Structure 1
Amino acid sequence: MSLRVNTFTKVMGLIVMLLIPIIVLYWFSNRTSLDVVMNEVEKSMYKDLSYFAAKTDETASQLAKSGLIISEDINVRNLEFIEIASLYEQTDEKLRVNDKLRLINASSAWDTTISIYAPATKTFVSTNTYLEYNASLVDSNYSRVWKYTNIVAPYYRGQPRFVRFITEPFDSTARKAGLIVEVSFAADELVKALDRFKQGGKGDASFVSEDYQILSVKDSDKELQSALLSHVELKSLSQRQYERVKLDGVEYTVSSVWMPELGWYLFDYLPIDDVVRPITTNSLLFYISIFFLLIGSTIAAYVLYTNVQVPIRELVRGVKKLKKGEYPKLNVFRPNNEFHFLLVSFNDMAAQIETLIQNVYLETIRSRDANLKQLQSQINPHFLYNCFTLIRSLTRLGKKESVMDLALHLSRYYRYTTRSEKQAAFLREELDLVQSYLAIQSMNVQDLRFSIEVPEAMAELELPRLILQPLVENAVIHGIEPVGDGDIRITGSQNDRYNIISVTDNGIGVSDEKLQQLRQQMSMPPTEDKGCALWNTRQRMLLQFGQEAGLRILKRDEGGVAVELYWPNEPDSVREAAASIAAAAEAHANSRKLKEE
């Protein structure tokens, strides 16, 4: 499990988890603010647009009413009968009508032209003295409502105008009317009004006819207006007040107002980005701040990780190795804090523990060496005492040859046991010793028979010295001697786990109670009044091979007793470890001898 993933990632995850609600709340608040601002701007835009459209339509309506008032004026109506008056009266009447027209024209906010024509008397009066009556223009432009036309008198230099006719009496054609009143104003008057409206910061408004003719100021973006108009339907738009249109990745809010007097739409648009730019700028600054805050938090978390978590991880790694029996030297970081002291102290502690364990290890080897020598010294006198007793008996009987054979076997035995440079021996050496011992015992017990059957594969196995002799001795003394006749058999076997050496006899055997006592004696240290052969043998096996080795006593169904030595079938690594321990013990013993010398 990686501490870096667990700690550093958790810290970063906690920071992100704290930032996410802030970002979400800010985004929701920002979105709400944008919607509120846009709704207010759109309502304000439509309100201003409606007001401007109403004022424009009202001006056009006033002009139309002025034309109607003129058509009903008594002096103007007299133009239908002016031919019966004298020339002076005709001139005076025309001047009087002209003054009224000029007075009405002066009250208008727009540059307006009012003309009156009486077809019956061919009389023509206009506020523009340069105009002359043109019947074809009247016929082509004739309309009872305001009409946008490019067909104008030469005086207007082809500039478009809005024209409206009032006939008296009413007729659908100008030719049948008794009196014709023409009211017109230049389309530039609407453009000028748009320019004033735009100077007030009201977007880029324009007038649009039902057939999508556009009147706009000179610096307006006509291509953008046309593109936006192609995406909306003016009639439905004027009913919804405003809607949003996305064009080339840019979102616009568009609005339209119908002007029933002029018969045109007042259209305006506004880029949403222009309206919400201060809010989006603040949002961008907020997100940039959050980004740098995240970077700063990451750096802070990394610094915390390197100055706290890395030393902790190093300490944990050292503790784990210490539990495995390793004594590592940790990397000492220099964060100028308490961890430097902890790491240095841990290294010192590990070195001290390693030194102490080595000392304890050497002391254990010394203790083990001493125990083996003590146990061996306890066995050697026991066998020697028996041999001296046998020599005494044979000498008393005068068996000189037997004494010589006994002395030969005894010399071989002690030549083997006095080789104390090694505490272990090969199994074949132990078997040779046992064979010499049984040869000696066969001199004491005439009907003693023995056999040794051990596989060659076990001959090179190592055992503690004199480990078999006490077992064979017990078989002879306690099993065969009481009856004076019997067989002793020594066999060896192996399985996947253990090596086994068995010493069996067909002597008097043991009772169950006696067998239980022997097993108890094996597990308890000897006392002054009790022997120690079995306990010594078992202890030596435990010291040599560990807790899996030992000694067991079995009662045979056919009579007699079987005693088995067993020890684990060690792998090479265990053998090498045991060899290294023995070598260390031997080296330590040699160094101690040199010091004593």
Structure 2
Amino acid sequence: MYRYNLFTKIVSIMVIMLIPITILYFYSNKTTTDVLRTELNTSNSNQLSFFQNQVESNMELLSSWPILLIHDPDILSLKDTYLKGTHLNLDAINLIKRIQTKISIQESSSNWKSKLYLYSPSIHRMVSENDAIPYSDEDLKREVKSGWHVEKIAEQDGDHFVFSWFSFTPFMSEFSPKKVNTIMKVEFDSRNIEDMLDKFKSDGRRDPFYYKQGTGLIFNRSADKLLAEELVERLEQEQLRQSENRTVNIKGESYSVNIVYSDKMGWYLIDYMPLSEILHPIQTSNRLFYFAIGALLLMSCLVAYLLYVQVQVPVRLLVGGFQRLKQGDYSTRVEIKGKNEFSFLSGRFNSMVEQIQMLIENVLMEKIHVREARLKQLQSQINPHFFYNCFSFITSMAKLDNMGAVVGMSHNLSRYYRYTTRQERDLVALSEETEFVTHYLEIQKMRMSRLQYEVHIPQQMRKRDLPPLVLQPLVENAVIHGIEPVSKEGLVRITGSCNGRVMVLTVDDDGKGMTPEEIIELENKLGKAMDEEMGCGLWNVHQRMRLRFGEDAGLTIAPSPLGGLQVKLQWLLPLTDNNTDDI
């Protein structure tokens, strides 16, 4: 009962205290992680958008060059130049030289490596920084497209892309090489974007790259191309939005992916980062927290165990000693361990029990003799009570010359007398007590012909032992005080019942009875010392039963269902009774 009581309580209290702390930490940790991921995604998206704007600004700058150069006076005058043959004349050569110089200046004005081309339908030549060569109208018509046009070029070191932009005058909805005056083309290589991606990555990004479905990918030069391609395959499983964040799992690793779409380029800028890198500080903090919780719980268990050994065990031994002492084991002793307050208490307990044991041994025999003497005295008070009335009846019947009544009375009286003279025993069988009461009732029935009686006691109950002369005083009270005072026929009923160890004998009569106040007064007198106003019959029975069977035994009085008085005699069989299983 007490073995792990204190230990369990202390550990339980510590666990209960740690549970809300752990729950609060988990909630705080989850909130922190969510906020961190949200802020990180927002920051990543903002940085990607800023980078995207830089790329778009460079592309817008390049796309504005053709518009500026188309209005150059030399380029405008080129449309009025016509060749008489296939070779350029001196004026045309000088004009082209000036245009090439302006193209070179324009190309060098940007950080991006780009090229400008001028297509002149009048001389049917394509003018670049270093050359002026003829071109085919069919090829030109096939190349010219609105917006930025991307052409994929495969090389040994990997694929790259050429971006081109065409402007022409006058503007027309459907391009025709023969109807325009001037065509300008600007183009740049994707290596310019790769340079910017390299610089962007050096600022702390993971592996940014550009992606356009059906076209390809533009990587930074140190990118993990296989991982990026697998990442794109996972992203293509769902439709990409213009700006979003996703978590993608690849080979057991989760990645936080940020995506920004460029309306001007038509490409997606994608950057990714392993969540393990993002959450590494939080995971480290979690491990430290778990370690601290585990260490605290371990220390709590250690402290609880020390308290259990130093406090609970000595207290448990003392409590066990008191429990055994309560059960009557006066030979019990508590083992003394160590030298502390509990060892002092254990020593004093042992001394106390030893003194109690000596007192019990000295007083026990004297107490037993006193109880036996008191039982004999109470029994002697009951034995002469009935004989006075019997001899008076015999005398009366003899005077009336009623020899049958004299013989019947003498017979029953002799059986009665034989029973009482043999009562040196402390206990008799209930069957003998019942036979004795039957003789008594036969005697009373001879005196009062209107008296009837019934006896209903189970056979298994008749085997039980009880003190002698405890049932007869109850029946006598029913006859003398219940039946005799009234003139009608009278009935005395004796019943027995047993429920486990509980034995009950009930005596009912249909006589005079008692008021509730008289019943309460009589029950109160049963528990007190006998006085001169009270008869000794019921009091003796009540006291003898309590002395023999304990405080739960004795008499209870109540109105009878027959109309008179009901007296119950109840007692509890001892646990050592060998015949309890027969009930």
User: TM-score range, shorter-chain basis?
Assistant: 0.5 to 0.7
Does residue 463 of the first structure (1) align with residue 425 of the second (2)? yes
Query: What's the counterpart of residue 69 of structure 1?
Result: 68
| Cα displacement (A) at 1:125 | 1.5
| Cα displacement (A) at 1:139 | 4.1
Instruction: Count matched residues.
Output: 427
| Cα displacement (A) at 1:546 | 4.5
Residues 326-365 of structure 1 mapped to structure 2, 5 A cutoff: 326-327=329-330, 329=332, 332=335, 334=337, 337-364=340-367
Aligned with 2:120 (options 105, 118, 121): 118
- The 1:212–1:500 alpha-carbon spacing in structure 2 relative to 1, beyond 3 Å, is farther
Distance in 1 (CA, whole Å) between partners of 2:151 and 2:549 is 121
Distance in 1 (CA, whole Å) between partners of 2:371 and 2:167 is 138
Distance in 1 (CA, whole Å) between partners of 2:192 and 2:342 is 85
Does residue 108 of the first structure (1) align with residue 70 of the second (2)? no
Distance in 2 (CA, whole Å) between partners of 1:88 and 1:524 is 161
**Matched AA of 2:308:** Y
SS at match of 2:204: coil
**Matched AA of 1:59:** N
Distance in 1 (CA, whole Å) between partners of 2:238 and 2:549 is 97
5+ residue gaps, structure 1: 376-446, 465-493, 504-510, 513-522, 526-533, 549-565, 576-597
Instruction: Assess if the C-alpha contact under 8 Å between 1:79 and 1:123 holds in 2.
Output: no
Residues 53-64 of structure 1 mapped to structure 2, 5 A cutoff: 53-64=52-63
| Cα displacement (A) at 1:42 | 1.6
| Cα displacement (A) at 1:161 | 0.7
**Matched AA of 2:60:** S
5+ residue gaps, structure 2: 378-405, 427-461, 473-479, 482-528, 551-568, 579-583
Query: What's the counterpart of residue 32 of structure 1?
Result: 31
| Cα displacement (A) at 1:226 | 0.8
Aligned with 1:242 (options 228, 241, 244): 244
Residues 174-573 of structure 1 mapped to structure 2, 5 A cutoff: 175-176=177-178, 177-209=180-212, 211=214, 213-217=216-220, 218-220=222-224, 221-234=227-240, 236=241, 238=242, 241-247=243-249, 251-327=254-330, 329=332, 332=335, 334=337, 337-364=340-367, 453=415, 463=425, 496-498=464-466, 500=468, 546=548
- The 1:193–1:334 alpha-carbon spacing in structure 2 relative to 1, beyond 3 Å, is farther
SS at match of 2:329: coil
| Cα displacement (A) at 1:312 | 1.6
CA deviation map 1:47-100 (0-9, x unaligned): 111111011001001001012212222212333315269722222212111111
**Matched AA of 2:200:** F
| Cα displacement (A) at 1:499 | 5.5
Query: What's the counterpart of residue 164 of structure 2?
Result: 163
Instruction: Assess if the C-alpha contact under 8 Å between 1:146 and 1:263 holds in 2.
Output: no
Pairwise CA RMSD = 4.7
Distance in 2 (CA, whole Å) between partners of 1:106 and 1:51 is 25
Instruction: Assess if the C-alpha contact under 8 Å between 2:325 and 2:332 holds in 1.
Output: no
Instruction: Assess if the C-alpha contact under 8 Å between 1:206 and 1:215 holds in 2.
Output: yes
Aligned with 2:100 (options 94, 98, 101): 98
Does residue 83 of the first structure (1) align with residue 83 of the second (2)? yes
SS at match of 1:109: coil
- TM-score normalised per structure 1: 0.60
For structure 1, which segment, 128-137 or 212-221, has the greater mean C-alpha deviation from structure 2 after superposition? 128-137
Distance in 2 (CA, whole Å) between partners of 1:276 and 1:211 is 35
Instruction: Assess if the C-alpha contact under 8 Å between 1:38 and 1:272 holds in 2.
Output: no
Distance in 2 (CA, whole Å) between partners of 1:216 and 1:314 is 79
| Cα displacement (A) at 1:357 | 1.4
Query: What's the counterpart of residue 585 of structure 1?
Result: none
Instruction: Assess if the C-alpha contact under 8 Å between 2:331 and 2:357 holds in 1.
Output: no
Distance in 2 (CA, whole Å) between partners of 1:12 and 1:569 is 45
Instruction: Assess if the C-alpha contact under 8 Å between 1:250 and 1:271 holds in 2.
Output: yes
| Cα displacement (A) at 1:326 | 1.1
Instruction: Assess if the C-alpha contact under 8 Å between 2:124 and 2:135 holds in 1.
Output: no
Instruction: Assess if the C-alpha contact under 8 Å between 2:65 and 2:106 holds in 1.
Output: yes
Among the aligned pairs, what percent are the same residue? 27
| Cα displacement (A) at 1:194 | 1.1
For structure 1, which segment, 168-177 or 48-57, has the greater mean C-alpha deviation from structure 2 after superposition? 168-177
SS at match of 2:231: helix
Distance in 1 (CA, whole Å) between partners of 2:575 and 2:153 is 119
SS at match of 1:170: coil
| Cα displacement (A) at 1:157 | 11
| Cα displacement (A) at 1:26 | 2.1
Instruction: Assess if the C-alpha contact under 8 Å between 2:115 and 2:186 holds in 1.
Output: yes
| Cα displacement (A) at 1:158 | 7.7
| Cα displacement (A) at 1:191 | 1.7
SS at match of 1:463: coil
CA deviation map 1:133-160 (0-9, x unaligned): 56665444322211111269x9x99842
More helix by share: 1
Instruction: Assess if the C-alpha contact under 8 Å between 1:57 and 1:260 holds in 2.
Output: no
Query: What's the counterpart of residue 434 of structure 2?
Result: none
**Matched AA of 1:125:** V
Distance in 1 (CA, whole Å) between partners of 2:90 and 2:147 is 36
CA deviation map 1:82-119 (0-9, x unaligned): 52697222222121111111111111111111111223
